[in-house]
């Protein structure tokens, strides 16, 4: 596990060595702003909180996070550096964790750079900063879960476009599994336990509960379990590809 | 130092590697030869742990590559096919990354990097992104990465591919200089490379070893081994040819017309015999423009024991 650190450092630096980081951050911040102020009518509501702002996070992540994750493994496979990386004295697990943490830290940086909106809302009124902090934590955890799914999908292919599309699809299912679009399908015939099980998989439900201001251990554990699950599958996928 | 036992790799219906046994010792430079698609790269990928074999075992200094992979890979320096490297990094950053992953820290890392950069002549491009480098430099970055930790086992997939003759010479000198302390496997389809650096040549075809010996032993299998070639005027050719044929050790004579009324005659010896002394004794009385003996032609041996790729692809589907 000692090798996680050099892999993390290399991967994190790689974002900033290419325009990727800057393009992503600019678009992320611009989109956050546009959604909050125009579509979400932040000013018209006249309430000093960031509910509107955080409400758009799952939907923005749905497309932006797979865009970061798609290159994680697909690019290594295509350029042949995967062969280099995996023939170094590094476990697959260390490589998966190192790369994932770098991508997660990078989304953390992007998320951190939204701080002006926190300052703005404090300037405009007196919001509950505890709720906002909890929402940031929830948002970061959710981004990690999206990333883990994206990383796992990226490992299955050397084609980044395929990695992106599959990751968006899987992320979408996880996002909306608590919403009527999925639950209506089960309603009326499925036992209640199944419906609540499906709905409990929803990122939206867990994120909403954290964004309400309570960092419930169950929600934190949920997101961390999703991350652990998909990173484990990620390791297995790479291991299986060795067998050919 | 490298032991390979019964190694096979099956890709669906295709047997890419069909049972290879090989042991490589310290001081050996093993030239791994074979037509494209013969299984050279697949074998190297299994020896370095990138692919898992379908069956068989690989041990590097006693460490099994499948069950004790980390320990085994510590002992290996590997230059994969095409010398992949992270294009957005500079050679300096890249080598630091490799040093860190390999557990080299502080002064040790610094010394090894400086030493390797000097050996591979990377100084002029140390701070340019790797993706902007010429093919020759990229290849040397890959080589630098492989020898950075001074590994006892070095495995290189076509290390001189894409290099110009000067660079090839430099890389070969480097390999020769490291050879006594290491076990080295080099794949190539440049036959002159085998003669230049290898102490042992293994030819594989359709995933099997079809020849294994010193380059000299392989050359001895060539029809041209110890053959004597002389160039004479066309008028004298018929007479000389019959005299050559009459020699006790001569198995046959080939005749090739060159421009300007010159004929090239090649006398082939009977197996194990030497012709050069007899021929040169006779040649004193003839008007001979050139006379030389051949060591043999590796490409001839290569063609004789390997198959065309189309035939191979057909047969490999079991």
pLDDT tens figures, A108-151: 999 999 998 888 888 888 888 888 999 999 999 999 999 999 99
Which of the two residues, A95 and B249, has the higher pLDDT score?
A: A95
Number of domains chain A is built from: 1
Choose the closest CB to B102 out of A7, A83, A89. A89
What pTM was computed for the model? 0.86
Quick check: A48 and A127 in contact, CB under 8 A? yes
A-chain CB neighbours of B93 within 8 Å are 13
Say what the pLDDT of residue B315 is.
63
At a CB cut-off of 8 Å and minimum separation 6, what does B211 contact?
A: B201, B202, B203, B218, B221, B301, B305
Task: Say if the Cβ atoms of B82 and A80 lie within 8 Å.
Answer: yes
User: Mutate which of B101, B138, B155 to disrupt the A interface (most A C-beta within 10 Å)?
Assistant: B101
| Residue A89 touches partner B, C-beta closer than 8 Å | yes
Say what the pLDDT of residue B316 is.
58
Which residue, among B72, B229, B77, has the nearest Cα to B153 in the 3D structure? B77
Residue of B nearest to A18 (CA): B88
Confidence category of residue A95, pLDDT binned at 50, 70, 90 = very high
Kindly indicate whether the domain formed by B228-294 is annotated with CATH number 3.40.1000: no
| Chain A nearest CA to B80, separation (Å) | 7
Residue A35 CB-half CA count within 13 A: 19
Helix, strand, coil percent values for chain B (each to nearest 5): 40, 30, 30
| Residue A80 touches partner B, C-beta closer than 8 Å | yes
CA A42 to chain centre: 24
Task: Say if the Cβ atoms of A90 and B101 lie within 8 Å.
Answer: yes
Residue of B nearest to A240 (CA): B52
A-chain CB neighbours of B82 within 8 Å are 80
Helix crossing, A203-211 with A129-154: angle to 10°?
A: 160
Quick check: A163 and A154 in contact, CB under 8 A? yes
A-chain CB neighbours of B11 within 8 Å are 244
For A37-41, A219-223, A240-244, B154-158, which range has the lowest pLDDT when averaged over its residues?
A37-41
Average pLDDT per consecutive 10 residues, chain B (318 residues; last block may be shorter): 92 88 92 87 93 93 92 94 92 94 91 93 92 90 93 93 86 90 90 87 88 83 81 80 79 82 83 77 79 79 72 60
For A63-67, A92-96, A183-187, which range has the lowest pLDDT when averaged over its residues?
A183-187
Residue of A nearest to B52 (CA): A243
Residue of A nearest to B102 (CA): A89
Task: Say if the Cβ atoms of A89 and B103 lie within 8 Å.
Answer: yes
Compute the distance between CA of residue B169 and CA of residue B148 in angstroms, rounded to an integer: 20
Per-residue pLDDT tens over the stretch A197-211: 777 778 888 888 888
Q: What is the DSSP letter of A36?
A: I
| Residue A169 touches partner B, C-beta closer than 8 Å | no
Choose the closest CB to B73 out of A13, A89, A244. A89
Compute the distance between CA of residue B190 and CA of residue B167 in angstroms, rounded to an integer: 14
Helix, strand, coil percent values for chain A (each to nearest 5): 80, 0, 20
Quick check: A156 and A82 in contact, CB under 8 A? no
Q: Is residue A219 pLDDT above 60, yes or no?
A: yes
Compute the distance between CA of residue B17 and CA of residue B54 in angstroms, rounded to an integer: 9
Compute the distance between CA of residue B226 and CA of residue B240 in angstroms, rounded to an integer: 19
Token pair 């084609």 is found at A159
Q: Is residue A213 pLDDT above 60, yes or no?
A: yes
| Chain A nearest CA to B167, separation (Å) | 23
| Residue A83 touches partner B, C-beta closer than 8 Å | yes
Long-range contacts of B221-224 (CB under 8 A, 24+ apart): B221/B296, B221/B301, B221/B304, B222/B296, B222/B297, B222/B298, B222/B300, B222/B301, B223/B268, B223/B297, B223/B300, B224/B266, B224/B268, B224/B294, B224/B296, B224/B297, B224/B300
Compute the distance between CA of residue B197 and CA of residue B173 in angstroms, rounded to an integer: 8
- ipTM of the modeled complex: 0.87
| Chain A nearest CA to B104, separation (Å) | 11
Count other Cβ atoms within 10 Å, centred on residue A204. Answer: 19
Which residues make beta-bridge pairs with B291?
B230
Domain extent, residue A188, equals: 4-243
| Chain A nearest CA to B50, separation (Å) | 6
User: Mutate which of B84, B98, B105, B127 to disrupt the A interface (most A C-beta within 10 Å)?
Assistant: B84
Quick check: B295 and B269 in contact, CB under 8 A? no
Compute the distance between CA of residue A198 and CA of residue B125 in angstroms, rounded to an integer: 56
Residue of A nearest to B145 (CA): A84
B contact set with A (CB within 8 A): 9-11, 45, 48-52, 70-71, 73-74, 76, 78, 80-82, 84-89, 93, 97-98, 100-103, 129, 145
Residue of A nearest to B67 (CA): A91
Residue of A nearest to B75 (CA): A89
User: Mutate which of A10, A81, A102, A236 to disrupt the B interface (most B C-beta within 10 Å)?
Assistant: A10
Quick check: B29 and B200 in contact, CB under 8 A? yes
Count other Cβ atoms within 10 Å, centred on residue B268. Answer: 21
Task: Say if the Cβ atoms of B84 and A83 lie within 8 Å.
Answer: yes
Task: Say if the Cβ atoms of B97 and A243 lie within 8 Å.
Answer: no
Per DSSP, the residues of B121-160 read: T-GGGTTS-GGGS-HHHHHHHHHHHHHTT--SEEEEESTT
Say how many CB pairs under 8 Å bridge A and B. 72
Say what the pLDDT of residue B216 is.
82
Choose the closest CB to B86 out of A9, A14, A90. A14
When the candidates are 1.10.760.10, 3.40.50.300, 3.40.350.10, 3.40.50.2300, the CATH number that belongs to B2-220 is 3.40.50.300
Task: Say if the Cβ atoms of A242 and B51 lie within 8 Å.
Answer: yes
Q: Is residue A98 pLDDT above 80, yes or no?
A: yes
At a CB cut-off of 8 Å and minimum separation 6, what does B314 contact?
A: none
- What φ, ψ does residue A28 adopt, rounded to 5°? -60, -50
Pairing of the two strands B153-157 and B76-79? parallel
A-chain CB neighbours of B76 within 8 Å are 87
Compute the distance between CA of residue A147 and CA of residue A142 in angstroms, rounded to an integer: 9
Say what the pLDDT of residue A36 is.
82
Task: Say if the Cβ atoms of B50 and A91 lie within 8 Å.
Answer: no
């Amino acid at each position: 596990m000692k090798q996680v650190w050099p892999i993390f450092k290399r991967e994190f630096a790689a974002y900033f060595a290419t325009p990727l980081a800057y393009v992503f951050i600019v678009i992320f911040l611009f989109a956050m702003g546009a959604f909050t102020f125009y579509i979400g009518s932040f000013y018209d509501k006249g309430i000093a909180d960031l509910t509107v702002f955080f409400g758009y996070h799952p939907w923005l992540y749905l497309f932006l996070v797979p865009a970061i994750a798609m290159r994680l493994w697909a690019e290594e496979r295509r350029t042949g550096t995967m062969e280099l990386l995996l023939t170094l004295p590094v476990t697959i697990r260390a490589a998966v964790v190192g790369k994932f943490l770098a991508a997660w830290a990078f989304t953390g940086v992007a998320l951190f750079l939204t701080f002006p909106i926190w300052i703005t809302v404090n300037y405009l009124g007196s919001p509950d900063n505890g709720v906002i902090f909890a929402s940031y934590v929830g948002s970061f955890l959710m981004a990690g879960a999206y990333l883990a799914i994206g990383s796992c999908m990226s490992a299955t292919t050397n084609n980044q476009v395929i990695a992106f599309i599959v990751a968006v699809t899987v992320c979408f299912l996880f996002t909306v599994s608590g919403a009527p679009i999925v639950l209506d399908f089960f309603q009326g015939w499925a036992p209640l336990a199944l419906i609540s099980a499906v709905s409990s998989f929803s990122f939206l439900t867990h994120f909403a509960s954290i964004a309400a201001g309570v960092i419930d251990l169950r929600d934190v554990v949920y997101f961390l379990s999703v991350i652990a699950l998909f990173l484990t599958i990620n390791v297995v996928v790479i291991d299986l590809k060795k067998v050919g | 130092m490298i032991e390979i036992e019964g190694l096979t790799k099956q890709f669906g219906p295709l047997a890419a590697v069909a049972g290879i046994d090989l042991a490589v010792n310290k001081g050996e430079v093993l030239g791994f030869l074979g037509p494209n698609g013969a299984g050279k790269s697949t074998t190297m990928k299994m020896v370095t742990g990138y692919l898992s074999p379908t069956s068989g075992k690989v041990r590097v200094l006693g460490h099994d590559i499948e069950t004790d992979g980390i320990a085994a890979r510590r002992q290996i320096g590997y230059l994969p096919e095409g010398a992949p490297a992270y294009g957005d990094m500079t050679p300096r950053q890249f080598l630091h990354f490799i040093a860190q992953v390999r557990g080299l820290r502080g002064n040790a890392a610094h010394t090894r990097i400086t030493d390797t950069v000097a050996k591979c002549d990377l100084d002029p491009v140390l701070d340019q992104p790797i993706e902007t480098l010429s093919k020759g430099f990229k290849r040397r970055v890959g080589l630098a990465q492989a020898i950075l930790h001074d590994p006892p086992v070095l495995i290189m997939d076509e290390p001189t591919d894409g290099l110009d003759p000067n660079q090839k010479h430099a890389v070969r000198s480097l390999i020769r200089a490291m050879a006594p302390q290491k076990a080295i496997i080099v794949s190539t389809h440049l036959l002159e490379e085998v003669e230049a650096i290898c102490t042992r040549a293994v030819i594989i075809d359709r995933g099997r070893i079809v020849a294994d010996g010193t380059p000299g032993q392989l050359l001895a299998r060539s029809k041209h081994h110890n053959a004597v070639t002389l160039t004479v005027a066309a008028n004298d050719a018929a007479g000389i040819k019959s005299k050559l044929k009459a020699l006790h050790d001569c198995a046959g004579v080939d005749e090739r017309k060159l421009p300007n009324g010159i004929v090239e005659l090649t006398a082939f010896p009977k197996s194990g015999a030497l012709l050069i002394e007899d021929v040169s004794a006779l040649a004193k009385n003839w008007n001979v423009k050139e006379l030389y003996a051949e060591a043999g032609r590796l490409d001839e041996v290569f063609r004789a024991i390997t198959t065309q790729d189309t035939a191979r692809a057909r047969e490999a589907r079991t």
